[in-house]
């Protein structure tokens, strides 16, 4: 009986999420955007399509997000376990990537 219950409930929850999500997007859009910017009002299916498009483009809304990767996405615990040299190397890579600055060469870091 327990397995049959889930077979029925899971599709019901999916349909309910689609209906609630589409309705919320439709009502928010129709409440805010036509008066503010003169956009057309949306139907339920247009709102559902917009919601699906946003999910495809921007990822999961409201879920447990994915762990970002890369040297600059360190948790505070990971950052605390790093040596000062490792932290400085990450800072330099961040500056090079986001500020367009070239990372200093080895000669300029440790002049002899």
Classified as helix, coil or strand, 78 is helix
Give me 45's structure tokens.
Answer: 């299916």
Is residue 104 scored above 60 in pLDDT? no
Burial track 68-105 (b if 16+ CB lie within 10 A, e otherwise): eeeeeebeeeeeeeeeeeeeeebeeeeeeeeeeeeeee
Does the pTM surpass 0.85? The reply is no
Calpha distance 22→70 (Å, rounded): 35
Contact 30, 42 (CB under 8 A): yes
17 burial level (CB within 10 Å; 0-12, 13-18, 19+): exposed
90 band by pLDDT with thresholds 50, 70 and 90: confident
**Above 90 in pLDDT, residue 19?**
yes
The residues spanned by each domain of the chain are 2-58, 69-103
């Amino acid at each position: 009986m327990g397995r049959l219950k889930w077979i029925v409930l899971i599709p019901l929850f999916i349909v309910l999420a689609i209906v609630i999500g589409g309705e919320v997007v439709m009502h928010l859009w129709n409440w805010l955007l036509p008066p503010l910017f003169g956009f057309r009002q949306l139907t339920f299916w247009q709102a559902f399509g917009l919601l699906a498009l946003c999910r495809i483009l921007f990822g999961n809304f409201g879920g447990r997000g994915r762990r970002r990767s890369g040297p600059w996405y360190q948790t505070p615990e990971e950052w605390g376990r790093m040596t000062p040299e490792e932290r400085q190397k990450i800072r330099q890579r961040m500056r090079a990537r986001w500020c367009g600055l070239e990372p200093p060469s080895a000669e300029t870091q440790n002049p002899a």
